[in-house]
Amino acid sequence: MSVRSWPRHICPLRHIFVSIGCLVALIAAGVYLTGIRRGTEEYVQSESMTRVGAVTLIGSLLFVTSTITDKNAFISRTPEPACHRRPVQSHSYRQTLGNYSHFDDILLVVFFSHARYGANLEYHRELYSDYFPNILYIGPASREDAGFNHSYDVLVDSYQSDEDLTDPSFYKMAGRMAHHMLYTALQEYDCYNGYLWVPFDTLLNIPRLEKFDQDLFWYHSPWGLPVFNPAQETPQDSLNLSLHAPQANISPDPSINLTETWRGWGPDWCDPHVGVGVCMEAFQKVPMDLRERLAAFTNGETRLIGGSADTMYIPGRHSRLFMDVLGLFLETTCFLEIAAPTTLHLVAPLLEPILFVDHWWIYRPPFNASFVRQQWAEGYEVDTFHTFHWGERDGDDVWRENHENVADVRRLLRESAERQQTYFPVR
């Protein structure tokens, strides 16, 4: 191994060798001069010593010169700035189950559109902290009502989190600008290899997510590449679109007056306050080379992408660019479920696949692990789904937490690991 190729952790040794080389050079020089001054009677011996000194001197000087002039030598080395992760106060003390390490360098960002914490947060953390050592809970208010020990459980981001459903002309949902929380998480918690963005009520099928490449984007993109599934009968089944969750949506031509003519995604998509018309104000500010990336997906036509933003993975190497583009949409009131999916498709490199997440958005029961088992029985896969409930409403229509849901999801994860033919620790 050459000096140039030494690993960084060996670099301090180079400093030692340079010092030794300099010392040897000085000693050799002294020997050389002493040998020259010897008398004639010591000619034979001095000549031998002189030669040794000369050879040593030349070799030592070559070594020192080579090392000092090396562009990576300690004299001219410019230290690379170290990236230091900010501790996640809400969750930085739990040890994963059985030293599970698959997501050690991933930040799981769990957002709340409403400050409905309680068992929703406690059960979520109890379950998923076995597998994610870094979890950031973010929502519109703190948990100070639960006492000091819980006052830092949640990173507070209340940007446009108010809700008002009384005005039919401007239907304000609390989570309409939740992508501001995503921006905050990326800005405040740098240095992760990736960021998995989900709400608290999305179930994560972790044995499936293990199979996703953490260097690529994940989303239920219309152009997404399915991830091989050992539970399906043949590799071709993984590519069969009929066996996958619905894809995200592609907008029609945004030059059309969507408020008057389009109801394809429901009222929120064409709403004049948060819909495509507003989003285009941000889209026009996106650099042209990124817009051309998206146009490559849509056959050169200007289109936006919309759909559930309840499961999205952003590789750390793309997080800065993702932030910059998402920030343009945050300068408007563009709805979360247009802004975030469109940003992902603007930023994703053309030559890198977006991995397709089998994400299901359901609005009818069962809102628990039974939904996954039903989908399995019909030949589908569930990587994630929303809405998952950590409790139920009782006969008096009062919502109550149900810890049995935690135990049932653990059973589900064990079943999924068997389907995926992988070892997976479960309590």
pTM of the model: 0.80
Give the Cα separation of 104 and 395 in Å (integer). 42
Average pLDDT over residues 71-86: 60
Average pLDDT, the chain: 83
Query: Rounded CA gap, 222 and 353, in Å?
Result: 11
String of DSSP letters for 375-421:
HHHTT---SEEE---SEEE-TTS-EEE-THHHHHHHHHHHHHHHHTT
Residue 138 DSSP SS3: strand
pLDDT digits (tens, 9 = 90+) for 55-69: 444 454 444 444 444
pLDDT of 339:
97
Q: Distance (Å, rounded) from C-alpha 168 to C-alpha 113?
A: 20
Contacts of 108 (CB under 8 A, 6+ apart): 128, 132, 134, 135, 136, 196, 198
- Whose CA is closest to 341, among 272, 294, 373? 294
> Which pair of tokens denotes residue 318?
């793309």
pLDDT tens-digit readout, 250-275: 987 777 665 555 454 555 567 788 88
34-44 b/e (C-beta count within 10 Å ≥ 16 → b): ebeeeeeeeee
What is residue 204's three-state secondary structure?
strand
Single-letter amino acid, residue 401: E
205 close to 127: Cβ distance less than 8 angstroms: no
Identify the pLDDT of residue 266: 54
- Closest C-alpha among 133, 140, 110 to residue 204: 110
Question: Poorest-confidence range of 2-6, 126-130, 293-297, 409-413?
Answer: 2-6
Nearest to 130 by CA among 186, 183, 206: 206
Instruction: Spell out where 217-375 has E strands.
Output: 218-219, 225-226, 249-250, 305-306, 312-315, 355-356, 359-361
Higher pLDDT, 378 or 173: 378
Percent of the chain with pLDDT over 70: 76
* Residue whose entry in the numeric block shows the structure tokens 């190729």: 5
pLDDT per position as a tens digit, 309-367: 999 999 999 999 999 999 999 999 999 999 999 999 999 999 999 999 999 999 999 99
Whether residue 258 contacts residue 270, with contact meaning beta carbons closer than 8 Å, is answered with: yes
Bond from prior residue into 366 cis (ω within 30 degrees of 0): yes
pLDDT bin (cut points 50, 70, 90) of residue 399 is confident
For 3-50, the pLDDT digits (tens) are: 333 344 444 444 444 455 545 554 554 544 455 444 444 443 444 444
